[in-house]
Amino acid sequence: MVAEHSSKNFGITLRVWRQAGPTQPGRFVDYQSQDLNPNMSFLEMLDVVNDELTRKGEEPIAFAHDCREGICGTCACTINGKPHGPGKGVATCQVYMRAFRDGDVVTVEPFRAAAFPVIKDLVIDRSAFDRIQQAGGFITARAGSAPEANALPVPKPDADLAMDAAVCIGCGACVAACKNASAMLFVAAKVSHLGLMPQGQAERDRRVLAMVGVMDAEGFGNCTNQYECSAACPKLISHDFIARMNRDYFTASLRAAVKPASSGASGGA
Amino acid sequence: MSPLGNLLRSSLGRKLIMALTGVVMVGFVVGHLVGNLQIFQSPDHLNGYAAFLHQLGPLLWVARIGLIVSVALHIWAATSLTLENKRARGNEPYAVKTWLRASLASRAVRWTGYIVLAFLIYHLAHFTLGVAGSDHFKSNLPTYTMQEDYRVAGFMVVKAGAVVADVHSMVILGFQSVAVSLFYIIAVGLLSFHLLHGIDSLFQTLGWRSTNWARVLRGVALAFCVIYFVGNLLIPGAVLTGAKGLRPGFSREAVKTTSVQR
């Protein structure tokens, strides 16, 4: 038998952060959202609310979304105080209205952090993540067709662990959930998924030093080991990767301090 | 900037400083507790131990300076990281804030830190400098004559017959005040709570924690904190309940006389 709250239409009070632009002051506005199908997604509910607003000639609520299946990392709403809303291991687009009850007041805010300025309403600028990635979240390698799979053996457990980090969709929920707006989980995931692969070894030290450097410069906070990030992560990336990044960073710093560098005296090879 | 200079200025580097100074201080408080538990033996033990520490001379100062530097660096790192964290969170707070899994110890760690610092200052004023409770400070008490030799790791350090400060009586007189004892108990309780997050955290910061053994680590940290708290509770607890009284031959009149003479 289907539970009543997943079959009967209902209504909620939507309390949404409205902000016209990056420099404009924002405020919460209440909307009555009625006759909701419990099996519609949270973003579909916003679509319905926006339809009504558009019909009334009001400015619709701006929110970021793209794939609507939890793999692109574009949607970014803090719903009732939790980034991506109720449920474990879900992005905003994977939240369904059956997670709420008739008459609920549902508060929707953007992911908040000084490094993620609001562009409009619920849309934030996450280009700080791009700049961290550009500092070292890649391997410098010949880009051609896929190499022969057995040329470079990777133990299965290593590949699996690397994949656990590589599932990061860069949504920023970790930053939003952290009381310090720290990007440690994001950076740790990006550093680790390449650091665990043989292809990533050549630039491993340079990568972690550069990415942490940009992370600090972008104004993200510092980790206080409360692990709110991994609890909010739609991909449930473990904070074990943060420990791993700490270790990588310290050893890379020590190596950078003592490792001899070429003086270039021979004028190159 | 040099890679090591960079390390110490970076967010991760300052967390490393938090962790390493934390290790130094945990080591100290454990040694401090073990040393102090000698109060439950004859007065020769605590008094001999105190005399031994003072005999160390320059070495005692090396240890003291090391501890002062650790405390200062721990506070500096915590302050600079916290200020950055507040800036990073931005000006607009969340209207609804929920905690997903952060432990109470982690959420309270800054406040327990403040109170432990206040306690540390009082504790030094009380038993090291004699500014607070000076009527029972060791220099205002009659001296103690060692009845037996005091040995550390088999080495004789204080001979029988040596005249030493009566730290044993100072501690008992200090804890006979209910207010003082309660402050000690509360402060040490909060320190234990501070360490519950701190010990767990330092393994994460150093990169030695993983989910495979996180539960074991949590259990060990909890056991450590409980044992540490109970160990510390024993001293004021025993004095308050009267289980540990002043040594035979110690008279309060002698305190008054010496106090007046000074």
* Mean pLDDT, chain A, integer: 94
B97 touches chain A (CB under 8 A): yes
Integer CA distances (angstroms), A82 to A28, A168, B52, B105, in order: 17, 18, 57, 21
The shortest C-alpha distance from B164 to chain A (Å) reads 46
> How confident is the model over B183-199, as a mean pLDDT?
97
Q: What is the distance between the alpha carbons of residues B14 and A142, in angstroms, rounded to a whole number?
A: 37
Chain B partners of A256 at a C-beta cutoff of 8 Å? 3
Residue span of the structural domain in which B115 resides: 3-257
The percent of residues in chain A predicted with pLDDT above 90, rounded, is 87
> Is the complex ipTM more than 0.90?
yes
Q: What is the pLDDT of residue B262?
A: 42
Going by pLDDT thresholds of 50, 70 and 90, the confidence category of residue B5 is confident
Q: What is the pLDDT of residue A84?
A: 98
Q: For the residues of A205-259, what is the DSSP string, one character each? A: HHHHHHHHHHHHHTT-B---S--HHHHH-TT---THHHHHHHHHHHHHHHHHHHS
> Measured between CB atoms, which of A17, A248, A257 is closest to B4?
A257
- Specify if B191 maps to a domain: yes
Q: What is the distance between the alpha carbons of residues B217 and B211, in angstroms, rounded to a whole number?
A: 10
Note which residues in 126-145 of chain B have CB less than 8 A from chain A.
none
Integer CA distances (angstroms), A208 to A167, A170, A205, A246, B225, in order: 19, 17, 6, 9, 34
> How confident is the model over A151-164, as a mean pLDDT?
94
- Decide: helix, strand or coil at residue B168: helix
Q: What is the distance between the alpha carbons of residues A215 and A228, in angstroms, rounded to a whole number?
A: 19
**Whether pLDDT at A6 is above 50:** yes
> How confident is the model over A189-212, as a mean pLDDT?
95
Beta-carbon separation of A225 and B98 below 8 A: no
**Structural domain count of chain B:** 1
B88 touches chain A (CB under 8 A): yes
> How confident is the model over B160-188, as a mean pLDDT?
94
Going by pLDDT thresholds of 50, 70 and 90, the confidence category of residue A269 is low
**Whether pLDDT at B15 is above 90:** yes
Q: Give the position of tokens 């009732």.
A: A80
Candidates A24, A78, A82, A179, partner chain B, best to mutate (most B CBs within 10 A): A179
Chain A partners of B3 at a C-beta cutoff of 8 Å? 209, 253-254, 256-257
- Specify if B262 maps to a domain: no
- Specify if B75 maps to a domain: yes
- Specify if B74 maps to a domain: yes
- The one-letter code for the residue type at B21 is T
Domain A127-140+150-258, CATH: 1.10.1060.10
More confident residue, A60 or B258: A60
Q: And the tokens for A206? A: 């340079």
Chain A partners of B13 at a C-beta cutoff of 8 Å? 253
Instruction: Report strand pairing: A82-83 vs A77-79.
Output: antiparallel
**Whether pLDDT at B260 is above 70:** no
B124 DSSP 8-state letter: I
Listed residue (A117, A128, A133, A126) closest to A24, CA to CA: A117
User: Where do the domains of chain A lie?
Assistant: 4-120, 127-140+150-258
pLDDT digits (tens, 9 = 90+) for B199-244: 999 999 999 999 999 999 999 999 999 999 999 999 999 999 999 9
The percent of residues in chain B predicted with pLDDT above 70, rounded, is 95
> Measured between CB atoms, which of B87, B94, B204 is closest to A81?
B94
* Mean pLDDT, chain B, integer: 92
> How confident is the model over B148-159, as a mean pLDDT?
91
**Whether pLDDT at B98 is above 60:** yes
Looking at A112-126, A140-154, A222-236, B174-188, which range is the least confident one?
A: A140-154
Q: What is the pLDDT of residue B139?
A: 87
Beta-carbon separation of A227 and B209 below 8 A: no
Q: Give the position of tokens 């662990």.
A: A161
* Cβ(A177)–Cβ(A237) below 8 Å: no
> Measured between CB atoms, which of A222, A223, A256 is closest to B3?
A256
Beta-carbon separation of B211 and A240 below 8 A: yes
Around Cβ A267, how many Cβ atoms within 10 Å? 5
**Whether pLDDT at A1 is above 60:** no
The shortest C-alpha distance from A145 to chain B (Å) reads 37
B117 touches chain A (CB under 8 A): no
User: Domain containing B145 — which CATH number?
Assistant: 1.20.1300
B204 touches chain A (CB under 8 A): yes
Q: What is the pLDDT of residue B94?
A: 96
The percent of residues in chain B predicted with pLDDT above 90, rounded, is 81
**Whether pLDDT at A268 is above 90:** no
- Decide: helix, strand or coil at residue A68: coil
Q: What is the pLDDT of residue A3?
A: 65
Query: A4-120: CATH homologous superfamily?
Result: Beta-grasp domain (3.10.20.30)
Q: And the tokens for A68? A: 């609507």
Instruction: Report strand pairing: A10-18 vs A105-110.
Output: parallel
Note which residues in 7-26 of chain B have CB less than 8 A from chain A.
7, 10-16
Note which residues in 144-173 of chain B have CB less than 8 A from chain A.
none
- Specify if B253 maps to a domain: yes
Going by pLDDT thresholds of 50, 70 and 90, the confidence category of residue B182 is very high
For residue B131, how many C-alpha atoms fall within 13 Å in the half-sphere facing its CB? Answer: 6
Q: What is the distance between the alpha carbons of residues B243 and B229, in angstroms, rounded to a whole number?
A: 19
